[in-house]
Copies of this chain bind each other. A is one copy, B any other.
Amino acid sequence: MDTLDKTDLQILSILQNNARLTTKELASQVNLSSTPVFERLKRLENGGYIKKYIAVLDAEKLNQGFIVFCSVKLSKLNRDIAAEFTKIVQDIPEVTECYNISGSYDYLLKIHAPNMKYYQEFILNVLGSINSLGSLTSTFVMDEVKHNYGIPL
């Protein structure tokens, strides 16, 4: 599978907003019957276009609504130190995202915490204890204005 037609993109676009539609409902939205939609779905899943299906939770209600973007500079930027840092980061549950970035910092981390107090302790105890980490700047999220959980299609 290498090319997607308009219907495939339509299916992906619908599913990245709501993955709980039945094949039937999905089919009616793209003006087809279930069988071809079902087959397209399998092709999209097996072709890796759809990576997984997930539930989006309410961070606020689950007491994880305090969000911080944490910019990190490594103690020194080389392959070993970068590898060490990224490995450690994978196992820290509060770090929900981590990007290697351009600019004055090396990494951008998205962090979820219950509140400022928790975050402060987290910085001191968890991030602060990482040797490969040089410096760090916290940018606090005051409001989540938009969050698509998807990509433009």
Interface residues of A (CB under 8 A from B): 12, 15-20, 47-59, 61-62, 64, 67, 69, 86, 89-90, 93-103, 107-108, 112, 137, 139-153
Contact = CB atoms under 8 A, between A and B. Distances in A.
A48 B60 CA distance: 10
Copies in the complex: 2
Given A47-B61, A53-B53, A54-B149, 20 more contacts: A15-B54, A15-B55, A17-B52, A18-B53, A19-B53, A52-B55, A54-B56, A59-B151, A64-B153, A90-B145, A96-B148, A98-B144, A98-B147, A99-B141, A99-B144, A99-B145, A100-B142, A101-B139, A101-B142, A108-B139
B16 A55 contact: yes
Nearest to A112: B151
A94 B141 CA distance: 20
B101 A52 contact: no
B151 A54 contact: no
